[in-house]
Structures are given as structure tokens and as C-alpha cells.
Amino acid sequence: MFKRESLSTFNDATPRSTSNNGKPSRFGRSAADDANSSVSDSSSTIPRAKKPCEKLKFALLNGVVIPPSCLAIIPISGEGIRMLLDVTSTRLYRLPFPMLDRLEMYSGWDQITLADVIAGLLILATSLVWIRVINESKGVGDVLSYRQKLPALFYLYAGVAAGVIGLDALIFLLGIQSRANGWGEVPVYAGPACCVLYVVLCACFAIFHSDYAIGKRV
């Protein structure tokens, strides 16, 4: 059925090399090279263990930066959300949920509205999106690879990320503009400048977290 000459020709056409143990290896690579490459690939994907001092530094920086940032950003974004949706002006203690009516008994807590809660969740979502964007720009993740294989899925991810970041910036700008009258005489560009500064700070926060997660040092 098959000629011996054709079979020998097919075997000769396949590149082979000899490994350390004398066994042939295809594609011109030895078995030791294949083992070394597999070990290096697996080791490159293993994250480096963080030292206790790095974890402490990371926790302290987050504890110093996040609470005051949220106290400054949430009221502004909440004001922007209330401008878009008046129903979000409802106080939390008026919502029909158990235990929320007790917030009325505490000064300050009775001023929290539904818009403030939405603003806090939006800030959290925006931070996570920014961190994912920074990680993808560093080659960590699979979204960029979808651009050639699954372009529809890639543009879906990109559209959602751009939408979340843009919506958060727009709401922050509306909140700034709503309070601009209380600043006195301020330039027209003060609101957009504050919005750009806010977006830059969010990106810096994401870079910090991304460097801690996949970088070598904080």
C-alpha cells in the first residue's frame, strides 16, 4: 500500500534533534530546552510574594488616602446624580428597609441620600475599571488579545470601560458645576479643570494598585 521510500522521505522531512538522553526531539529543540521553557513560562506567571513591610505600607497608604478622598468625592458626585435623577434625593432612613429608620436618630447619618450610596458604588466600579485598564495596558489580561480573535467582545469591553469612566467624570463635573455659585467669582474653566484633575487622580490610584499587584515594589 505505502512505499518504504515515501515513508523514509516523510521522516527525513521532519526536523529532529538529539536531546541529552539520546532521544530525538522534533522541531529542532531538545527535551531539556522544552523543559526549561515550560519552567520559565510557569514561573513568570507566578506572582511574587509580598513582604510584610510592603503589605503594611500598602494598607497604610490606602487607609490614609481612601477615606478622605471618599468624603470629598461622594458629596460632589452625589450632587451630580441628584441633578440627573431627582428621585435619588430620598433619604436612606425613609426607604422601606429594616433598620434604616434608625439612621434618623444620628446626626449626619440622617442626611445620607440614595444618591450618595450610588455615588460610592460608582466610585468603586470606576476604580476597578481603571485598574483593569492599566493592567491590560501592561499586557496582563486577555482583553487586548480579543481585538483580533473576537473584535465584537473586545469593543464591548472597551465600550463598557469608556462608558463607566465617562459617566463618572460627567457626574463629577455636574456636581462641581452645581456648587460653583457658592465659590464666588471663579473662572469658567474651574469646573472642567477639577474634573480633569479628578480623572487623573483616579488613574494614578489605579496605577498604584496595579504596581502593587503585578509590580516588584510599591
CA distance 105 to 116: 19
* pLDDT 10s digits, 27-83: 445 544 544 544 444 444 455 667 778 788 888 888 888 899 999 999 999 999 998
Band the pLDDT of 145: cuts 50, 70, 90: confident
CA distance 172 to 76: 6
- Angle, in degrees to the nearest 10, between helices 190-214 and 52-84: 150
Instruction: Say whether pLDDT at 129 is over 90.
Output: yes
Instruction: Say whether pLDDT at 25 is over 50.
Output: no
Give SS3 for 113: strand
**10 CB neighbour count, 10 Å cutoff:** 10
Instruction: Say whether pLDDT at 164 is over 90.
Output: yes
Contact assessment for residue 118 and residue 191, using Cβ atoms and an 8 Å cutoff:
no
Is the whole model's pTM more than 0.75, yes or no? no
**Given this model, what pLDDT does residue 177 score?**
83
CA angle 32, 38, 42 (to 5 degrees): 145
Write the single-letter amino acid at 68.
Answer: P
108 Rama class: left (phi>0) / alpha (psi -120 to 50) / beta: left
**Given this model, what pLDDT does residue 103 score?**
80
3-state secondary structure 144-194: CCHHHHCHHHHHHHHHHHHHHHHHHHHHHHHHHHHCHHHHCCCCCCHHHHH
Band the pLDDT of 170: cuts 50, 70, 90: very high
Of the chain, the end-to-end C-alpha distance in Å amounts to 68
Contact assessment for residue 120 and residue 74, using Cβ atoms and an 8 Å cutoff:
yes
Contact assessment for residue 83 and residue 38, using Cβ atoms and an 8 Å cutoff:
no
What length is written for the chain?
218
Give SS3 for 154: helix
Arithmetic mean of pLDDT over the chain: 77
Give me the residue label for grid cell 523543559.
35
